[in-house]
Amino acid sequence: MTTVNKTLKGELDRGELAAMQSAALGGTRVPDRVLLAPWGQVESTNGSFVVDEESAALAIAAMTAHATDTPIDYEHQTLGGSYASPDGRAPAAGWIKKLEAEPGVGLIAKIEWTAQAKEMLAAKEYRYLSPVALIRKSDRKMIGIHSAALTNKPAIRGMTPIVNRATGAAADETLSSLADLEPMIALREALSLPADADAAAVLLAASRRLTALREDAQRHHIEQRIAEALRLGKLVESQRAWAGALVAREAALFEEWLRTAPVVITRGATAPPSASCAAEQRSRTAEARARAEYRTNPLLSRLTTEAAYVANAVRDLECSMN
């Protein structure tokens, strides 16, 4: 691993190196501008980190201060150790000549590829560019790029390919014409993107917004169904997590449970239920819960039948009450 520039080292605050995938290289035309890390909160299998105005400025300043091109290798061989190749070599696949920040999009690398790397990318032998990002521990902001690698094992979750399936001049012409369309202009404004944001940036931001809206809608639906079950007196607060997981995983099964489950909390009752009534309610609750557990766990069907599993749950309850 190369020595980190003193200025950058001071910013690291004993930070950490994390090899993280960023952008897919689709199509046969090999781009010379590639997204290294998307804007905002970035989720990775190596941990989350942040890319914002300060983050991008620090990464660009660090590369400028170092005054050398940043290497791109294969499978992070430059890091050595467990990443080292059998012969110890770490041939370059290309060089990052310049870093650029595009607010709302991410940190962009201007790349000069080697001839071999271009051939491998065009043949789709490699598809992803994975940066080794320098992360500041205090706030999890990316503040520099140590190196990058061609790899087929992406780490950043939900990354969108940045290259249109069209190739060559046709792709550039398609994106250029899209950027001038009136709906694209309206979408850019709705997403609060800068006026010079191109079509690729607008579509990427729109994709992320739609994903966030779907997640919000799912959370709202789960809370709504739990609230209804609580209102009907068929669910107690301690069951909230279980019910939420069931709604998210098997919405139809939750609705069946809600329809058939007995009332366990009687609204407005002035006296406790009789012992026999309470026992019957507990039995029905145990039966409904056991039935839901059996249907959501495929492994149970290999061990016993649903009727036997439910009957056993009811017996266990009766034994515990005696």
pLDDT at residue 144 greater than cutoff 90: yes
* Position 238 in a domain: no
- pLDDT mean over 38-57: 88
Domain contains 15: yes
Task: Compare 100 and 45 and report the one with higher pLDDT.
Answer: 100
Residue span of the structural domain in which 266 resides: 250-321
* 174 and 224 part of one domain: yes
pLDDT band at residue 160, thresholds of 50, 70 and 90? low
Answer yes or no: is 242 within a domain: no
For 13-44, letters b (16+ CB in 10 Å) and e give eebebbbbbbbbbbbebbbeebbbbbbeebeb
pLDDT of the residue at 95: 95
Residue 149: closest CA among 67, 48, 68, 77 = 77
What is the per-residue pLDDT for 201?
Answer: 81
d(CA 193, CA 272): 61
63 and 12 within one domain: yes
- What is the mean predicted confidence (pLDDT) over 106-119? 90
Last residue of a domain, one of 138, 163, 188: 163
* Residue 245 domain-assigned (yes or no): no
Q: Within this chain, do residues 150 and 25 fall inside the same structural domain, yes or no?
A: yes
> Are 277 and 263 contacting, i.e. CB atoms less than 8 angstroms apart?
no
Query: Does residue 130 have a pLDDT over 70?
Result: yes
Residue 163: pLDDT band (50, 70, 90) is: very low
Q: Is residue 269 part of a domain?
A: yes
| Domain shared by 158 and 277, yes or no | no
> What is the per-residue pLDDT for 146?
92
| Residue-by-residue DSSP string for 96-146 | EEEEEEETTTEEEEEEEE-HHHHHHHHTTS--EEEEEEEEETTTTEEEEEE
pLDDT at 12: 44
- Report residue 174's pLDDT band, with 50, 70 and 90 as the boundaries: very low
- Give the pLDDT score at 3: 40
Question: Do 169 and 214 have their domain in common?
Answer: yes
240: in domain: no
Q: Of 136, 163, 190, which residue is a domain's last? A: 163
Residue 214: what pLDDT?
86
What is the amino acid identity at position 240? R
Q: Worst-scoring range by mean pLDDT, 21-30, 166-175, 249-258, 294-303? A: 166-175
Residues 16 and 157 both lie in one domain: yes
At a CB cut-off of 8 Å and minimum separation 6, what does 116 contact? 93
Contact by Cβ (8 Å): 179, 199: yes
Residues 25 and 124 both lie in one domain: yes
Per-residue pLDDT at 120 exceeds 80? yes
Please indicate, yes or no, whether residues 15 and 151 belong to a single structural domain of this protein: yes
Q: In this model, does residue 150 exceed pLDDT 50?
A: yes
**Mean pLDDT estimate for the chain:** 78
Residue 136 sits in the same domain as residue 224: no
Last residue of a domain, one of 163, 187, 220: 163
Instruction: Tell me, yes or no, whether 79 and 188 share the same domain.
Output: no
Q: How many domains does the chain have?
A: 3
0.75 surpassed by pTM: no
Share of the chain above pLDDT 70, in %: 77
Token pair, residue 16, equals 């950490």
Query: Does position 297 have pLDDT exceeding 70, yes or no?
Result: yes
> If you search the block for the tokens 């019957």, which residue do you land on?
280
* Claim to verify: residue 311 and residue 293 sit in the same structural domain: yes
